[in-house]
Copies of this chain bind each other. A is one copy, B any other.
Amino acid sequence: MNQTEQQTIRLTSEIAVEPIQQMGGDHMIVAAARVSTSGPEALEYADEARRDEGAGLINYLLKHRHGTPFEHAAMTFFCHAPLFVWREWHRHRVGFSYNEESGRYKQLEPVFWVPRRERLMVVPPKHKPARPVYLPLEDDAAYEALIERSRHVYQTCYDAYLADIEAGFALEVARRSLPLAIYSSCWVTCNPRSLMHFLSLRTHDTEAAFVSYPQAEIEEAARLLERIFAAGWPLAYQAFVKNGRIAP
């Protein structure tokens, strides 16, 4: 195969988050918390059928910032997102494990991110960088121009990447040309406590006790994680929302 022939690049706006496995549930959080006061008898609460008994306790734990019981559960996700999302995500160090596609060992696929048409992305006249709130893009032509500019840049980058590889250069040298828009896959494992911390910083919610201003794309990932969390740990999730979206 002659890799220097221009390879077709793919543009997308999709962020993917798929659950791989999970452990525990609300009942395990409850049972772990009950060890404090019940010792060995707490095991009796480690029973999914008794989950609903724990609603009050879970709310209490979140309200008073007792965080450790939320670490006795875990979940793993497959996530597919552009590098600028991973750059932010990987800054979460505590309670997060990662294994990502390697640009040293693997030729990356030519899949690149472009903003959705409706994404708020125009800087307003009175812009506060620390609390970024953007405007919609009115002009369809400007969006088309953005997409065309993106396509041109990505193709240029990926062509150079392939040219390097064909010329015998190491992948680790060739990848320097790839743009932050390129996608990468990563497995992410966390627990309800670390996940709530992530959600508190990576979702924007005007009802939150501390309002965060995340970039829309990491928020898109966060909202997908949030849905999986809400389904697997409904009591913890409701208590998280009710108590101002602050991680305990």
Q: Tell me if A152 counts as interface (CB < 8 A to partner B).
A: yes
Min C-beta distance of A229 to chain B, whole Å: 15
Q: Tell me if A3 counts as interface (CB < 8 A to partner B).
A: no
Min C-beta distance of A212 to chain B, whole Å: 8
Q: Tell me if A23 counts as interface (CB < 8 A to partner B).
A: yes
Chain B residues, CB < 8 A from A86: 87
Residue from B21, B103, B146, B150 in contact with A23 in the complex, judged by beta carbons closer than 8 Å: B21
Contact: A21 with B28, CB < 8 Å? Answer: yes
Residue from B23, B123, B129 in contact with A22 in the complex, judged by beta carbons closer than 8 Å: B23
Chain B residues, CB < 8 A from A172: 84, 132, 215
Stretch at the interface among A180-188, A220-228, A233-241: A180-188
Contact: B173 with A149, CB < 8 Å? Answer: no
Within 8 A of B (CB), among A32-60: 32-33, 35-40, 42-43, 46, 60
Chain A residues touching B, range: 35 or more
Secondary structure call for the A interface: mixed
Min C-beta distance of A3 to chain B, whole Å: 13
Taken residue by residue from 152 to 163, chain A's Cβ proximity to chain B (1 for < 8 Å, 0 otherwise) reads as 110011001001
Min C-beta distance of A78 to chain B, whole Å: 6
20 contacts between A and B (CB under 8 A): A20-B46, A32-B76, A35-B100, A35-B186, A42-B187, A65-B201, A68-B97, A71-B189, A72-B76, A72-B97, A74-B74, A82-B176, A84-B103, A91-B98, A93-B96, A122-B170, A146-B169, A149-B177, A156-B157, A175-B180
A-B residue pairs, 4 tightest by C-beta: A23-B23, A71-B97, A93-B93, A176-B181
